[in-house]
Amino acid sequence: MRSIDHLFEKSARSLARHTSRRSLLAALGKVLTGAALIPLLPIDRSFRAQAAEPAAGKKAEANPATDDPNSCDYWKYCAIDGFLCSCCGGTSNSCPPGTAPSPITWIGTCHNPTDKRDYIVSYNDCCGKVSCSNCVCNRNEREKPMYRPSRNNDLNWCMANADSNYHCSVSVILGVAEK
Amino acid sequence: MSRCNPRTLMVAAALVFSRAPLCLAAEPDAPAYPAGAAAFQANCAVCHGPKGAGQPSLAPPLTSYPARYASIAEGRRQLALTVLNGMFGGIDVEHSHFDFKMPDFSALDDATLAAALNFTVFDLGHAGGDTKPIAAEEIAAERSHPMDGSAVRAHRASVLASLGL
Amino acid sequence: MKTSLIGVTLLSLAMGARSLAAPPLPAEHLTAEKLPPNNAHRIYVLDEAFINEIDARVHLFDGDTYRRLGQIDAGFSPGFNLSPDGKTSVIGTTYFSRGSRGTRTDVVEFTDNTTLSTSHEIVLPPKRAMTLPTYFNVAYSADSRFVYVSYVTPAASFGVLDPAKYSVIGEIDTAGCVLVIPSGPNRVSSLCESGRLLTVTLGAEGHEASRAMSDAFFDPDKDPIFVQGVPITDGYAFLSFLGEVHEVDFSGAGPVFHQPWSLVSAAEKGQWRPGGQQVGAIHRHLGKLFVPMHRGGEGSHKDGGTEIWVFDMKTHQRVARWPVTTQKLAPVVAVQVSQDDAPILFAATDRSDVAVFDALTGHLRHVEKQLGQTPWLMLNP
């Protein structure tokens, strides 16, 4: 029986797939200014649900984790789902050797706390090998269910590749988000 | 609207002596651009549908605008730029909104891309006889200066303005 | 032989001269088990095995004896469901010809739930929606006449299959609407990007006879619904990210959308949210809804619940809050409840354990450790 616990003990940088650490912190009532709790997004009223705005206008401060492409907290990974290709022989925007990028993908909008801009990010999958099984990471900022596929990270976006096995996910900046 | 001559007795000669598309009069709804149809089905139909009807929020229909684009120079550039560079960002086509990331198809050669565009413009869009087919050279001309997907979208907006759309 | 000799020797040492009379152990006879008849506390746990995604399985577990009962293999990114009579498991899955790569083959497989032998398959076009498991990736019609399977390529459509002849009847385009929600005799509904519901009515042979689009019943921009609808007596209840419950009644000619009611008070809204993979379970006879709830903001809709809240479906009042993390359980990502009069709630956590609660009292009876790698959907017949 395979345990996935080793993924979470692996390094202080990697986070549980469902960010249970975040919900635990929330339950304890702590509010952090770091990446862990406040979404890395500005207040964008065209997308926002009628949620309580977290500390209105306050954005995540840049910290080592948000700049680290091997960390699930990396700012570009705000809507990623799967294994980080940077832990699999690729980088945050390139596929590991022997895998093929998916031409179709889902999109996220992530806030870069260093230059304070919002970027449109494309989460291409790298395909054609079995699961990388390293650095599992799932974040869901502005992610939507399957009926809005362009914003959904549950689908296997390798689906249209010749070899549609899923290996890992990258994050590719497409451009600055329009306000 | 097929550009085929329904009289098929000269088909074999036409193949050899002219550049008219192959006419399969036995199948009256055969595409005027069969190579383009094949390229479209293999690459485009997965998002735009086999008849170019599109899919809500994901991929716009192609049965109307591409034929209009092909009637003006900047529109023809837009067709080439789109297939070479892809596009992303929200667009509206006839009151429907789409917001996906179209991948680029620059890996396909100029002739294939031109054929797929001609299938789209003439077979799906029914462009008129005074619209010239897209030539492979028009694709080649845009290949030398790639554009990013948001610039392609911005160029689209200016094309739509010129066409009064 | 040697083992029984040792056994006899030890026995005689312990018991003296009388031991020479004890006979050796008889030879054993090897058989394969069959499952006992179904009971209300049996649970089918779909393990997506996300870390090794081509190796998904369904684990069968007994919620009374806490025994593992067996396994059904499920391939890559499967959809899973049970026949209305509970006797058959249906799995929609994908195989690659060389395991990790090669020609893709999509199939729907049928497994007998007594022998756990996979007896039949239907080969599909390679279009199956490869996504996280829901009730609506593959589903039987209520009368078992058809099996429906969701296709996303990313163009959306669905397949209609004949589970008696093990054949494909046809494919129906859904113009972008996704999933297959059985919604009445010969009817299948799909969720649309606009917040509407598409319903396709089939003819007797399983081809499209007509279709209808509802008005929008939720706002996908402001408060999307989870696609994980929860079965209620006459239809499904869809929970939204902000905690609204949209009950949809399919018992009539067309879908009827009840006025949504809220899981959260005005003060709690936006703070406490439902979340996870299988977000909600309903005991239909008792009219109780169980939801994993967490505190979080936008983007936390897949976070597991730190509490399980229990609601009365008639009064819409919360009747209990069961602690999860304070009982040393990891957050709960999937829940399912048995439909009998002494019901059990099964709760899968994001550390892959499955907790067994008394569904009437909330008493935690047992934690089954590591019931699979990533248990994300639980069904009980």
Torsional sign, CA C166, C170, C174, C176: positive
Phi, psi of C29 (to 5 degrees): -115, 120
In Å, the largest CA–CA distance within chain C is: 87
| Pairwise CA distance, residues B36 & B109, whole Å | 12
CA-based nearest distance C152→chain B, Å? 9
Task: Using a CB–CB cutoff of 8 Å, tell me whether B46 touches chain C.
Answer: yes
Per the CB < 8 A criterion, the answer to whether C308 and C332 are in contact is: yes
Report pLDDT for B99: 85
Task: Using a CB–CB cutoff of 8 Å, tell me whether A139 touches chain C.
Answer: yes
| Pairwise CA distance, residues A18 & C275, whole Å | 10
The closest CB to that of A120, out of B47, B88, B103, belongs to B88
Tell which wins on pLDDT, A129 or A62: A129
Report pLDDT for A10: 39
CA-based nearest distance A152→chain B, Å? 11
In Å, the largest CA–CA distance within chain A is: 49
Reply yes or no on whether A106 is catalytic: yes
| Pairwise CA distance, residues B136 & B151, whole Å | 22
Chosen for mutation from C45, C48, C52, C53 (greatest number of chain A CBs closer than 10 Å) is C53
Report pLDDT for C345: 98
Q: Residue A97 corresponds to which tokens in the numbers above?
A: 């050797």
CA-based nearest distance A1→chain B, Å? 39
Report pLDDT for C24: 94
Three-class SS state of A44: coil
Tell which wins on pLDDT, B96 or A37: B96
The residues that bridge with C156 in the sheet, in sequence order, are: C152
- State how far the alpha carbon of B97 is from the alpha carbons of B69, B74, B90, in Å: 19, 23, 7
Query: What is the CB-side half-sphere exposure of residue C47 using CA atoms within 13 A?
Result: 28
Q: Is 50 exceeded by the pLDDT of residue B14? A: no
Report the phi/psi class of residue C370: left, alpha or beta, with left for phi > 0 and alpha for psi in -120 to 50.
left
Among the listed residues A81, A106, A118, A157, the single catalytic one is: A106
Are B101 and A105 within 8 A, CB to CB?
Answer: yes
Are B100 and A107 within 8 A, CB to CB?
Answer: yes
pLDDT in tens, B79-95: 999 999 999 888 999 88
Share of chain A above pLDDT 70, in %: 65
pLDDT in tens, C316-336: 999 999 999 988 999 999 999
How many Cβ pairs within 8 Å bridge chains A and B? 36
pLDDT in tens, C175-211: 889 999 999 989 999 999 999 999 999 999 999 999 9
Share of chain C above pLDDT 70, in %: 95
Cα angle for residues A51, A53, A55 (degrees, 5° grid): 155
The lowest-confidence range among A123-132, B137-146, C18-27, C358-367 is: C18-27
- Sort out which chain A residues have CB atoms less than 8 A from C180's CB and list them: none
Report pLDDT for B145: 85
Chain A, window 144-173: residues with a beta carbon less than 8 angstroms from a chain B beta carbon: 148-150, 160
Helix (H) or strand (E) holding A167: strand A166-169
Average pLDDT value for chain A: 74
Q: Is 50 exceeded by the pLDDT of residue C26? A: yes
Are C154 and B55 within 8 A, CB to CB?
Answer: yes
Task: Using a CB–CB cutoff of 8 Å, tell me whether B103 touches chain A.
Answer: yes
Chain C, window 60-89: residues with a beta carbon less than 8 angstroms from a chain A beta carbon: 76-77
The closest CB to that of C370, out of A1, A20, A52, belongs to A1
Neighbours of C217 (CB within 10 A): 18
CA-based nearest distance C105→chain A, Å? 11
CA-based nearest distance C70→chain B, Å? 39
Specify the length of chain B in residues.
165
Question: Using CA atoms in the order B40, B43, B45, B50, what is the torsion angle rounded to 10 degrees?
Answer: 30
Q: How far is CA A165 from the centre of its chain?
A: 20
CA-based nearest distance B91→chain A, Å? 13
- Sort out which chain B residues have CB atoms less than 8 A from C173's CB and list them: 49
Question: Using CA atoms in the order C297, C299, C304, C309, what is the torsion angle rounded to 10 degrees?
Answer: 50
Per the CB < 8 A criterion, the answer to whether C285 and C339 are in contact is: yes
Per the CB < 8 A criterion, the answer to whether C303 and C296 are in contact is: yes
pLDDT in tens, C97-121: 999 999 999 999 999 999 999 999 9
Q: Mean pLDDT across the stretch B10-34?
A: 54
Phi, psi of C28 (to 5 degrees): -100, 160
Q: Is 70 exceeded by the pLDDT of residue B21? A: no
Chosen for mutation from B99, B101, B106 (greatest number of chain A CBs closer than 10 Å) is B101
In the structure, what pLDDT confidence band is assigned to residue C19 with cuts at 50, 70 and 90?
low
Q: Residue A66 corresponds to which tokens in the numbers above?
A: 């948000």
Task: Using a CB–CB cutoff of 8 Å, tell me whether A17 touches chain C.
Answer: yes
Phi, psi of C233 (to 5 degrees): -60, -45
Report pLDDT for A37: 29
Q: Is 90 exceeded by the pLDDT of residue A65? A: no
Q: Mean pLDDT across the stretch C205-230?
A: 97
Q: Is 70 exceeded by the pLDDT of residue A46? A: no
Chain C, window 145-204: residues with a beta carbon less than 8 angstroms from a chain A beta carbon: 152-154, 177-179, 191-193
Identify the CA nearest to B162 among candidates B63, B94, B76, B82. B76
CA-based nearest distance A136→chain B, Å? 24
Q: Mean pLDDT across the stretch C66-70?
A: 97
Helix (H) or strand (E) holding A108: strand A106-112
Identify the CA nearest to C218 among candidates A145, B94, A79. A145
In the structure, what pLDDT confidence band is assigned to residue A159 with cuts at 50, 70 and 90?
very high
Q: Mean pLDDT across the stretch A53-60?
A: 38
| Pairwise CA distance, residues B161 & B147, whole Å | 20
| Pairwise CA distance, residues A82 & C59, whole Å | 23
Task: Using a CB–CB cutoff of 8 Å, tell me whether B55 touches chain C.
Answer: yes
Per the CB < 8 A criterion, the answer to whether C348 and C354 are in contact is: yes
Average pLDDT value for chain B: 84
Report pLDDT for B3: 45
| Nearest residue on chain A to B44, alpha-carbon basis | A160
Share of chain A above pLDDT 90, in %: 58
Q: Mean pLDDT across the stretch C35-56?
A: 95
Per the CB < 8 A criterion, the answer to whether C308 and C347 are in contact is: yes
Tell which wins on pLDDT, B25 or A162: A162
**How many H helices and E strands in chain A?**
2, 8
Per the CB < 8 A criterion, the answer to whether B82 and B101 are in contact is: no
| Pairwise CA distance, residues C335 & C350, whole Å | 12
Q: Mean pLDDT across the stretch C161-173?
A: 97
Q: How far is CA B96 from the centre of its chain?
A: 20
Are A49 and C222 within 8 A, CB to CB?
Answer: yes
- Sort out which chain B residues have CB atoms less than 8 A from A150's CB and list them: 57-58, 99-101
Chosen for mutation from A47, A127, A143, A147 (greatest number of chain C CBs closer than 10 Å) is A147
Reply yes or no on whether A75 is catalytic: no
In the structure, what pLDDT confidence band is assigned to residue A12 with cuts at 50, 70 and 90?
very low
| Pairwise CA distance, residues B15 & B6, whole Å | 14
The closest CB to that of A51, out of C51, C130, C298, belongs to C298
Neighbours of A57 (CB within 10 A): 8
Sheet containing C147-152: which strands, arranged edge to edge? C138-140, C147-152, C156-162, C167-173
Are A143 and C301 within 8 A, CB to CB?
Answer: yes
Are C154 and B47 within 8 A, CB to CB?
Answer: yes
The closest CB to that of B57, out of A104, A148, A178, belongs to A148
Tell which wins on pLDDT, A32 or C319: C319
DSSP conformational letter for B63: S
Q: What is the 3-state secondary structure (H, E, C) of chain C?
A: CHHHHHHHHHHHHHHHHHHHHCCCCCCCCCCCCCCCCCCCCEEEEEECCHHHHHHEEEEEEECCCCCEEEEEEEEEEEEEEECCCCCEEEEEEEEECCCCCCCEEEEEEEEECCCCCEEEEEEECCCECCCCCCCCCEEECCCCCCEEEEEECCCEEEEEEECCCCEEEEEEECCCCEEEEECCCCEEEEECCCCCEEEEEECCCCCEEEEEECCCCCCCCCCCECCCCEEECCEEEEEECCCEEEEEECCCCCCEECCCEECCCCCCECCEEECCCECCEEECCCCEEEEEEEECCCCCCCCCECEEEEEECCCCCEEEEEECHHHCCCCEEEEEECCCCCCEEEEEECCCCEEEEECCCCCEEEEECCCCCCEEEEECC
Share of chain C above pLDDT 90, in %: 91
Neighbours of B42 (CB within 10 A): 12
- Sort out which chain B residues have CB atoms less than 8 A from A155's CB and list them: none
The closest CB to that of B101, out of A122, A148, A160, belongs to A122
Q: How far is CA A114 from the centre of its chain?
A: 17
| Nearest residue on chain B to C151, alpha-carbon basis | B46
Q: Residue A17 corresponds to which tokens in the numbers above?
A: 């797939």
Q: Mean pLDDT across the stretch C280-294?
A: 98
Q: Is 90 exceeded by the pLDDT of residue C229? A: yes
